[in-house]
Structure 1
Amino acid sequence: MHLLKRLSTLLALGLMLALIGCSSLTLAYNQMPLLGGLWMDSYLDLDSAQRGRLKDGLRAWQAWHRRDELPQWQALLRQAGAALDDGIVTADELLALERAARASLERCLQQAAPLAAPLLAELRPEQWRHLQRKMDEKTTEWHEQLSGRGGAAERAKRYTTSLERWLGDLDRSTRRQARDDAERWPFDLAAMAQGRATRQARTLEGLHAWARHDLAGGTAAFMHNLQTQPAEQPYRDQVTASLLQLLNGMDARQHQQVRRHWADLSAELHRLQTR
Structure 2
Amino acid sequence: MIAPLDKRRTDAAALKLRIIGFVGLVALLLLQACSTLTLGYNRAATLGYWWLDSQLDLNEAQSQQLRTDLDALHRWHRREALPQYAALLQRWEQLAAQDITPAQACEQFEAARTLLMPIATRSAQPLAQLGQSLSPAQVDHLRRQQAKDNQRFRQDFVEAPQNGLDQRVDRLIDRLEMFYGRLDPTQRQLVREHLARGSFDGAVALAERERRQNDVRQTVAALQATPAQGAALVQAVVQRSLDSPSSTYRNASRQWQREGCALIAALHNSSSPAQRANVAARLRDHMGDFTLLAQQD
TM-score range for the pair, normalised by the shorter chain length: 0.7 to 0.9
Q: Which residue of 2 aligns with 1:106?
A: 117
Range with greater deviation from structure 2 (202-211 or 108-117) = 202-211
In the aligned structure 1, how far is the partner of 2:78 from the partner of 2:45? 12
1:263 aligns with 2:292: no
Residue number among 197, 204, 218 corresponding to 1:191 in the alignment: 204
In the aligned structure 2, how far is the partner of 1:74 from the partner of 1:38? 27
Q: Is the 8 A contact 2:106 2:261 kept in 1?
A: no
Residue number among 216, 229, 233 corresponding to 1:217 in the alignment: 233
Q: Which residue of 2 aligns with 1:37?
A: 49
Per-residue CA deviation, residues 164-205 of structure 1 (Å, 9 max, x unaligned), is 45x353434334532453344343232222222223233444
Gaps of 5+ in 2: 1-10, 20-26, 244-248
In the aligned structure 2, how far is the partner of 1:38 from the partner of 1:61? 16
Range with greater deviation from structure 2 (131-140 or 236-245) = 236-245
1:120 aligns with 2:136: no
Q: Which residue of 2 aligns with 1:182?
A: 195
1:48 aligns with 2:60: yes
Per-residue CA deviation, residues 205-225 of structure 1 (Å, 9 max, x unaligned), is 455556634313321321232
Per-residue CA deviation, residues 80-108 of structure 1 (Å, 9 max, x unaligned), is 223334x2312332232222222211001
RMSD: 2.8
1:5 aligns with 2:15: yes
Q: Which residue of 1 aligns with 2:145?
A: 134
Q: Which residue of 2 aligns with 1:226?
A: 242
In the aligned structure 1, how far is the partner of 2:130 from the partner of 2:205? 32
Q: 1:216 to 1:91 in 2, by over 3 A?
A: farther
For residue 17 of structure 1, report the CA deviation from its aligned partner: 7.5
Map 1:197-208 → 2, pairs under 5 A? 197-206=210-219
For residue 54 of structure 1, report the CA deviation from its aligned partner: 0.8
For residue 61 of structure 1, report the CA deviation from its aligned partner: 0.3
Amino acid at match of 1:29: Y
1:250 aligned counterpart, secondary structure: coil
In the aligned structure 2, how far is the partner of 1:15 from the partner of 1:125? 25
Q: 1:89 to 1:61 in 2, by over 3 A?
A: same
Gaps of 5+ in 1: none
Range with greater deviation from structure 2 (234-243 or 48-57) = 234-243
Structure 1 length as normaliser, TM-score?
0.84
1:5 aligned counterpart, secondary structure: helix
1:162 aligns with 2:175: yes
1:26 aligns with 2:47: no
Q: Is the 8 A contact 1:120 1:207 kept in 2?
A: yes
Residue number among 58, 76, 79 corresponding to 1:64 in the alignment: 76
In the aligned structure 2, how far is the partner of 1:44 from the partner of 1:269? 31
In the aligned structure 1, how far is the partner of 2:95 from the partner of 2:156? 34
Q: Which residue of 1 aligns with 2:95?
A: 83
Amino acid at match of 1:196: R
Per-residue CA deviation, residues 33-52 of structure 1 (Å, 9 max, x unaligned), is 21111111000100122111
Amino acid at match of 2:242: L
Structure 2 length as normaliser, TM-score?
0.79
Q: Is the 8 A contact 1:43 1:130 kept in 2?
A: yes
Amino acid at match of 2:292: R
For residue 28 of structure 1, report the CA deviation from its aligned partner: 1.1
Q: 1:176 to 1:21 in 2, by over 3 A?
A: farther
Per-residue CA deviation, residues 15-43 of structure 1 (Å, 9 max, x unaligned), is 57843886x62111111121111111000
1:229 aligned counterpart, secondary structure: helix
Question: Post-superposition, which runs of at least 4 consecutive aligned residues in structure 1 deviate over 6 A?
Answer: none
Q: Which residue of 2 aligns with 1:97?
A: 108
Range with greater deviation from structure 2 (133-142 or 173-182) = 173-182
Q: 1:164 to 1:61 in 2, by over 3 A?
A: farther
Q: Which residue of 2 aligns with 1:143?
A: 154
- The number of residue pairs the alignment matches comes to 267
Q: Is the 8 A contact 2:101 2:262 kept in 1?
A: no
Q: Is the 8 A contact 1:6 1:236 kept in 2?
A: no
Identity of aligned residues (%): 27
2:134 aligned counterpart, secondary structure: coil
